[in-house]
Amino acid sequence: MRIGIVVGSLICAPLLAWGDTVTLRNGVTLEGIIVEVSAEEIRIQVGAGGSSISQVVKRANILEIHLGPQKLDSVRKLAVQRLNEGRATEAATLWRYLSALQPDLIENQLGRARALRLAAQLPEAMVAARLAVRLAPQDPRGHQEQAEVALAQGDGREAALRALDMIRFSGTASVPGYLLLARAFALAGQKDDALEAVKNVLKQGSIPESSFDDLASLLLGLPAYVELESLARDRVDRRPRERKGWILLGHAQYGLERFAEASATFKTAITLGGPGFDRARVFYVVADARKGGKDPLSALKPEDQELARELDPSLGRKKP
């Protein structure tokens, strides 16, 4: 089964310069450009520029490969670009090619693992993540990717073990590490342990923007409204004109059954900019009804009920 690509057709041949050499175990050396890689063989285009002559070589017969001066930088750049564009399957094909030619480069294995994970090809993603760890046992990125793949596989316990390895090698102040650990514990149903990991995140003070949404979602899912309120108040203080923080603050207040405060907070959120207007509007209706001791469903339009259940999952449930 081929795991590589025909570089000349999918990436365009000009990206790779002439100068690759393949030395066989029998002493023969082939010079040209490697255009295809599979699990069992490679295809190298040989001869002068523009030649279509190629030769297939079994990988078991290869002693060593020396790549040309381009070092596949153009391919790697394209692989990163495809992943950033959300084209994970295409990116995975490129990272497979890079990993086959440069298997000892940790960046290639990490890129392959992440692309395969996002393309939902999880068994192969775990193989690549484990190889990254073997290449650099003290690099936290490999342990992190192993944990992410385990999470995608639904294995919270394995993810927690790998997250602990990430923390061990990245330092106890690792916000991404503790956040990953909290997600793993939550998936495993260990809510107390998840909350303890979250508290370690909050102790670090400033939360990176890249981690904020994951942390907020985790607190909502536990649920941990006291910690969510603390996180949301800090956000509101730093970004008073952003709707997101106010919605989170109102959600925490509602979860703590302080309905009057939640109603006022959601009313403020309605007046601000940024995404989430409908969420703020619907949440305000629900909180305001609770404040007055009314059934929120009586004040909601049918099309708003699903959104309202994000704030109050009990809405719309059939009574036993």
pLDDT of residue 34: 79
Rounded-to-5 percentages of helix, strand, coil across the chain: 60, 10, 30
pLDDT of residue 52: 60
Please tell me whether residue 44 adopts helix, strand or coil conformation: strand
Instruction: Assess whether pLDDT exceeds 50 at residue 168.
Output: yes
From residue 228, how far is each of 9, 216, 254, 284 by CA, in Å? Answer: 51, 7, 11, 18
Q: Tell me the CATH architecture of domain 230-315.
A: Alpha Horseshoe (1.25)
Task: Give the pLDDT mean for 127-147.
Answer: 96
Please indicate whether the domains covering 137-222 and 230-315 agree at the CATH topology level: yes
Structure tokens at 168: 């061990």
| Helix pair angle (140-152, 122-135), 10° resolution | 160
Instruction: Assess whether pLDDT exceeds 60 at residue 14.
Output: no
Taking the C-alpha atoms of residue 100 and residue 59, their distance in angstroms, rounded to an integer, is 10
Instruction: Assess whether pLDDT exceeds 70 at residue 10.
Output: no
Instruction: Assess whether pLDDT exceeds 60 at residue 35.
Output: yes
Give the CATH number of domain 137-222: 1.25.40.10
Give every CB contact of residue 22 below 8 A, 6+ residues apart in sequence. Answer: 29, 30, 34, 42, 44, 57, 62, 64, 65
Taking the C-alpha atoms of residue 82 and residue 9, their distance in angstroms, rounded to an integer, is 16
pLDDT of residue 3: 34
Contact 32, 46 (CB under 8 A): yes
Confidence of residue 204 (pLDDT cuts 50, 70, 90): confident
pLDDT of residue 320: 43
Most confident of 65-74, 174-183, 250-259: 250-259
Tell me which of 23-37, 77-91, 216-230 is least confident. Answer: 23-37
Torsion of CA 292, 295, 299, 302, to 10 degrees: 160
For the chain, give every domain's residue range: 7-66, 137-222, 230-315
Quote the DSSP letter at residue 67. Answer: -
pLDDT of residue 40: 84
pLDDT of residue 68: 67
Q: What percentage of the chain carries pLDDT values higher than 70? A: 89
CATH fold of 7-66 reads SH3 type barrels. (2.30.30)
Q: Which residue has the tokens 């959104």?
A: 307
